[in-house]
Amino acid sequence: MDAEAARYIGEGMKYIGAGLAVVGLFGVGLGISNIFSTLINSTARNPPMQEKLFPIGVLGFALTEAVALFALLIAFLILFG
């Protein structure tokens, strides 16, 4: 194997690694949709609790979105690092 072929294989592996790092974003999307669907369902069942449930839902959204940012950061580090 010559040096040019090894370079192309290395580039391909970088793209595969970045793609695998971004697969985690699928789970994040499911988690965010689950958080807000449960928030809407809970508020519909018990409207007086909306003031207490909404901050918890927003906190869950923020923590789940942080995982998405970490996955995206790892993908960029693989591609450009």
pLDDT at 51: 94
Query: Would you place residue 3 in the very low, low, confident or very high pLDDT band (cuts 50, 70, 90)?
Result: confident
Calculate mean pLDDT across residues 34-55: 95
Q: Name the 3-class secondary structure at 46.
A: coil
Q: Kindly give the interhelix angle for 3-22 and 24-45, rounded to the nearest 10 degrees.
A: 10
Backbone angles phi, psi at 2, to 5 degrees: -90, 175
Rounded Cα distance, 43 and 52, in Å: 10
- Tell me the domains of the chain and their CATH numbers: 3-80 (1.20.20.10)
Helix residue spans in the chain (DSSP H): 3-22, 24-45, 50-80
Of the candidates 62, 63, 80, the residue with the CA atom closest to the CA atom of residue 15: 80
* Token pair 């449960």: residue: 38
> Any idea of the CA torsion for 63, 68, 74, 79, to the nearest 10 degrees?
-160
Which pLDDT does position 81 carry in this prediction? 81
Mean pLDDT to the nearest integer, 6-28: 90
Residue range 60-64: average pLDDT?
94
